[in-house]
Structure 1
Amino acid sequence: MNHEFIEALKQLEKERGVEMETLVEAIEDALVAAYRREFEIRSKDREKGREREGMPVQESEPKPVENDGITAHIDRRTGEMRVYQPMTVVEEVLDPNSELSLEQAHALSEDLELGDQLVREVDPSHFGRLAAQTAKSVINQKLAQAEKLRIHDEFSGRVGGLASGIVQRRDRNEVLVDIGRAQAVLPYNQQSRLDNYTFKKHMRFFIMKVDQRDHRPVIMVSRSHPGLVRRLFEQ
C-alpha cells in the first residue's frame, strides 16, 4: 500500500462514484479476515510440527474469532497499511502468533507481567502480498456492487419508457437482449407474434420493470405492451 494506491482510490471515487472511505473501510475489514485465515493456517501447521516432534500439543487449536482484537488501519494520506494483534504474556509459549514469554515481554517493558496483554504490529514482510490481493479483490467487489446499483437506479427511472437493444439469444421461452450496460429479458408473454427475434437484430423495447436475478439487476421489457406503440408515436 502506498500513496499511489490512495490516488487510485480517489480516481475511482471520481470516475465510478464509489466513496474512497467506503473502499478503505471495506479493505481494512477484509485484511483482518484474511489475516485471521492465515493465522489459523499457521497455527495448524505449528501444531502438526509439534506432534511430529513428539512435543505437547494443545487440546484445542487456537482459532481467532471476531472479537479477538485484531485490527487493521490504512493511512488515508500515505496508503500505509498496518495490522495489529493483541499478545498475551505467558509462562510457556505455545502459540507465538498470540503469545510471548515473560522474557520477551520484559525486552519491551519491565512493567509487563504474566497474563498482561499488549498489542503488536504484524510483520508486513509476511503480509504484503496478501494485503495487495485482498485490496484488489475488495475493490473489484465494491465496483461491481456500485455498477449494479447504478444500473438498477438508472433503469428504475426509465420504467415506462423505451430502450434500444440487440437480440442476443433465446433462453427457453425468453429472449435475452443487450441494451448497453445491462441485460434485458423479454418474457414469452410479452413477445409479439409479428416479430422475428433473430440473433443481433436491433429492436426497440418497452421497459416494464427492474427485477433481481442472481443478485444482479435484470430489465424486464416488452414488445406487446400498449405503451410501446404510444411511446414510438411520441418520438
Structure 2
Amino acid sequence: MNIELIQALEEIEKDKGIPKDMLLEAIKAALKSAYGKSGLGSKGNAEIEIDEENGEVHVYSKKEVVEEVEDEESEISLEKAKNKGFDCEIGQKLKIEVTPANFGRIAAQTARQVVIQRIREAERDILYQEFVTREGEILTGIIQRYHDDNVIIDLGRTEAILIPREQIPNENYESNERIKVYIVEVEQTTKGPNILVSRTHPGLLKELFKLEVPEIGDDTVEIKSVAREAGFRSKIAVNSEDDDVDAVGACVGPNGQRVRSIVNELNGEKIDIVEWSEDIEVFISNALSPAEVVEVKVNENEEVAQVIVPDYQLSLAIGKEGQNARLAAKLTGWKIDIKSKSEIEDE
C-alpha cells in the first residue's frame, strides 16, 4: 500500500464516479476482516487507518488500561502501557498500534480485490440505472443465442432475455438478426441488470406506431387504446383534436407505407386502425371494423353493448374463432354481444 493506491482511487473517482472516501471505507472494512482471518489478532477491537498522504496502513487495537489484565484482547496493564510510552491512568482507553510486519502485502492484495469489486458493482449499477428508466420503450438488439427456450438478445453493453411467453407464436429467431423488442421490466441483480423484453406486449405495437408516425410523436395524433393477439391480429384506436388531421390516415401513411412497415416488423400480423370516439356507440361500431354495423344499443351501467349487423356480415363481425369481437371488446373495454339483423327480427 503506497501513494499509488491513493492516486488510483482518485482516478477511479474521476473516471467511474465512485467516491474515494467510499472506496477507502470499503478497503478498511475488508482489511479489518483480513486481519482477523489471518490469525494475527482479533478484528473485534481492531481499527484500520489509511494515511491519505502516503497510503500507509496501520492497525490499532483498542484496549482499556487496568490494574490486572483478565482479557488480553481488550485490556492492557497500567505498567505495560507506561512501558510503551503512554501517559495514562486506570480506566483510560488506548489505541495501540499492532500492525503486523507482513501486513503490507495482505493490505495491497485486499485493496486490489475491493477496488475491482466496487468498480464492477458501480458499473452494474450504472447499467441498471440506464435501463430501468427505459422500461416501456423499444430497443433494437441482435439475437445472440437460445438458452432453455429463452432468446438472448445483445443490446451492446448488456443482454436482454426474451422468455417463451413473450415470444410471438411461430416467429423464428435467427442468430445475428436485428430485432426490435419492448422493455417490460428491469431488475437489479448481483450479476447486473436482468432485462426482460417482449415481442407480444401491446406496448410494442404502440411504440412502433410512435416511431413510424410523426403525428403521434408530436402529439397531433393520440393512441387511445390498443388490443393485441400477438402474431395474429391487433386493433389500435387513434384520435386527433386537429380537425385538419385524419388520425387513421396518418397512421396508415401514403399508400399504406407506415402501417406496412409495422406489419413487416411483426412478421405479417394484421392491424386494424380505427377512429376513437367519445360516443361509445360510434366507437364500438368502429372497433368492429372491417364489419359493417347496423345499430349499437348500450347499457352504460353494466358497460354491455348489443350490436346488430347485417346477416352477411355476422361471421366477419365475430371473426375467426371470435377474434374480431374479442379484440373489439378489449379495445373499447365493453362487453359486446353481436347478433344478425334476422336474429333480432325473430326475437
Pairwise same-fold verdict (TM > 0.5): yes
Deviation at 1:114? 9.3
Partner secondary structure for residue 125 of structure 1: coil
Q: Equivalent residue for 2:120?
A: 144
- Asked if the contact 1:191–1:222 (Cα under 8 Å) also holds between the matched residues in 2, the reply is yes
Partners of 2:144 and 2:116 lie apart in 1 by 26
Give how far 1:130 is off: 0.7
- Any residues of structure 2 matched to 1:106-125 within 5 Å, and which? 106-109=82-85, 118-123=94-99, 125=101
Which shows bigger deviation, 146-155 or 194-203? 194-203
Return 19-28 or 194-203, whichever deviates more. Answer: 194-203
Report the AA paired with residue 186 of structure 1: L
Q: Is the CA contact (8 Å cut-off) linking 1:91 and 1:114 kept in structure 2?
A: no
* Structure-2 residue corresponding to 1:34: 34
Q: Could you tell me which amino acid in structure 1 is paired with residue 134 of structure 2?
A: R
Alignment of 1:1-235 (within 5 A): 1-38=1-38, 41-42=39-40, 64=42, 66=44, 68=45, 70-86=46-62, 105-109=81-85, 118-123=94-99, 125-193=101-169, 195-213=171-189, 216-235=192-211
Moved more, 195-204 or 10-19: 195-204
Q: Please, what TM-score do these two structures have when normalized by structure 2?
A: 0.52
Give the Å deviation of 1:10: 1.3
How far apart, in 2, do the equivalents of 1:98 and 1:30 lie? 21
Q: What is the letter of the counterpart of residue 37 of structure 1?
A: K
Contact 1:93 1:101 in 2 (8 A): no
Q: What amino acid is the match of 2:14?
A: K
Return the alpha-carbon distance in structure 2 between the equivalents of residues 2 and 93 of structure 1.
38
| CA drift at 1:178 | 1.8
Alpha-carbon deviation of 1:134? 1.0
Question: Structure 1, residues 123-179: CA drift from partner, whole Å, max 9, x if none?
Answer: 353101110111111112211221221111111111111222222222222112221
- Paired residues of 1:162 and 1:206 also in contact (CA < 8 A): yes
Report the CA distance shift for 1:223/1:133 in structure 2 as closer, same or farther (over 3 A): same
**Distance in 2 of aligned mates of 1:35 and 1:65:** 6
Q: TM-score, normalised by structure 1?
A: 0.74
Unaligned runs of 5+ in 1: 44-63
Distance 1:101 1:6, change over 3 A: same
Indicate how the Cα distance of structure 1 residues 169 and 110 shifts in structure 2: closer, same or farther if over 3 A, else same: closer
CA distance in 2, matches of 1:110, 1:10: 36
Change in CA separation of 1:138 and 1:152 when aligned onto 2, cut-off 3 Å: same
The one-character-per-residue Cα deviations of 1:27-59 (angstroms, maximum 9, x if unpaired) are 111111111111xx357xxxxxxxxxxxxxxxx
Change (3 A) 1:163 1:2: same
SS in 1 for 2:197: strand
Tell me how many residue pairs correspond in the alignment.
210
Q: CA deviation at 1:26?
A: 0.8
Task: State which structure, 1 or 2, has the greater radius of gyration over its C-alpha atoms.
Answer: 2
Percent identity between matched residues is 39
Of 113-122 and 144-153, more deviation after overlay is shown by 113-122
SS of residue paired to 1:164: strand
Matched residue SS, 2:58: strand
Deviations 1:187-229 (A, max 9, x none): 1111123532222322221111102455632111112223323
